[in-house]
Amino acid sequence: MGTETEERKYVRLPVFLEQGFSFLKRDVLDNRICCLCGTCAAFCDKIEIKTSENELKPVLVEEYDTICGMCYAFCPRTFLPVSEIEARIFGEEEARKKAEGDVLGIYRSCYAVRSKKGDIKGQDGGAVTSLLAYALEAGIVDCAVTTTSDDQWRPISKVAKSYEDLKQSAGTKYTIYPGVIGIRDAMGAGGEHIGFVGLPCQIQGLRKVQTSEQPYEVGKERIKLLIGLFCMENFKEGLLDFVKAKLSLDLERVRKFDIKGKELLVYDDKGNSYGIPLDEIKRYESEGCSVCADYTAELADISVGSVGSEDGWSTVFARTKTGEEIVEGAVGKGYIEAKEIEEKGLGLIRRLGESKRKRGEKDY
């Protein structure tokens, strides 16, 4: 038996987890609240993300009786003890000081950031790509799991080990994808200091992996950096077919997707932009997004989003000591430039965060 401090190091799990995947299916899949983060499949070789009943979902690759309960424990949709996880990540004192209901979460500093690297063409200033590039150079990570896409904008996980790899992954993808499975690929490729970029639900899943007390060796100590992306909702792959038909535009010609205000913006290879009202694509929203209350990826080391900063800049929250050191180091090494963010920008982020939190708490 360890000391009290050692015993509080990990989040305790409910005793009923022996039921494993059957409970995961009952409580998450059958209730249609799976966010398709990919955490279950990343850490259990008995689970794969496959097309079943015309949609992607976790399925058992073979019939067997599981008693480990690991998939249920790691899923961010089964239970999410946020205050305990925050105490583990940020320290108990910081967790206690957290303002009640503050949707910005715990953070050390906040900036408007853009890349100083002219060859990085990322979303809203290329902040994520530049921060990862610095983390690679500084040896904080030896690889980074990112999400890129094929020529039809279908998302694909990529393990980036170089600056050139990172540049190829730049840009936001708006269709749902189990990105955490890239952690499995990174570990398989020998990664010992792994960075990850993903959505709030994916960050939640990985934080449960890192803080849960369980007897299985899953390599969680190799996950060193989590960068979370602001997210109001994500969309099913059918959105891509809708955009193609709506605009009569071959997706190979699309250079960028973005969401501004109440429109999905599509930019083609000739510099044209097209706006589609969000109301028209609402039917493609993932059901799993309806119960998510986290807009700014509150459990990440660094959170990044376009809201709150002027065009061409990203809003960056440095939440942990590691996150703050990376932001400061990237400024010092000339990867990024950073400036203070205006209070009205933070106010807009808060309003959107409150809206998502109310929706998530209402629908859960």
Please determine, for residue 95, whether its predicted confidence score (pLDDT) is greater than 50. yes
* Mean local confidence (pLDDT), 295-317: 94
Q: Pick the closest to residue 351 from 97, 82, 104, 113 (CA basis).
A: 104
**pLDDT for 250-265, tens place per residue?**
999 998 888 888 899 9
User: Same structural domain for residues 197 and 56?
Assistant: yes
User: Same structural domain for residues 33 and 126?
Assistant: yes
Please determine, for residue 347, whether its predicted confidence score (pLDDT) is greater than 60. yes
User: Same structural domain for residues 125 and 263?
Assistant: no
User: Same structural domain for residues 76 and 193?
Assistant: yes
Last residue of a domain, one of 281, 296, 311: 281
Sign of the torsion formed by the C-alpha atoms of 364, 106, 329 and 345: positive
Helix (H, G, I), strand (E, B) or coil at 305: strand
pLDDT score at 326: 98
User: Same structural domain for residues 56 and 72?
Assistant: yes
Last residue of a domain, one of 281, 296, 314: 281
Query: Which residues constitute the domain of residue 254?
Result: 239-281
User: Same structural domain for residues 135 and 243?
Assistant: no
Helix or strand run (H / E) with residue 49:
strand 47-52
pLDDT score at 119: 77
> Which range among 129-133, 236-240, 359-363 shows the weakest confidence by mean pLDDT?
359-363
Please determine, for residue 364, whether its predicted confidence score (pLDDT) is greater than 80. no
CA dist 323 to 24, 107, 125, 228, 330, Å? 32, 9, 18, 11, 11
Residue 99 pLDDT level (bands cut at 50, 70, 90): low
User: Same structural domain for residues 208 and 256?
Assistant: no
Count: domains in the chain: 2
User: Same structural domain for residues 243 and 231?
Assistant: no
Most confident listed range (60-64, 93-97, 270-274): 270-274
| 2 compared with 279, residue with greater pLDDT | 279
User: Same structural domain for residues 46 and 186?
Assistant: yes
User: Same structural domain for residues 350 and 245?
Assistant: no
User: Same structural domain for residues 262 and 310?
Assistant: no
Q: Pick the closest to residue 86 from 233, 297, 278 (CA basis).
A: 297
Q: Which residues contact 226 (CB under 8 A, 6 or more apart)?
A: 195, 196, 198, 203, 206, 207, 299, 300, 301, 302
> Which range among 65-74, 217-226, 283-292 shows the weakest confidence by mean pLDDT?
65-74
Query: Interhelix angle for 321-332 vs 127-137, to 10°?
Result: 90
In whole numbers, what is the pLDDT of the chain averaged over residues? 87
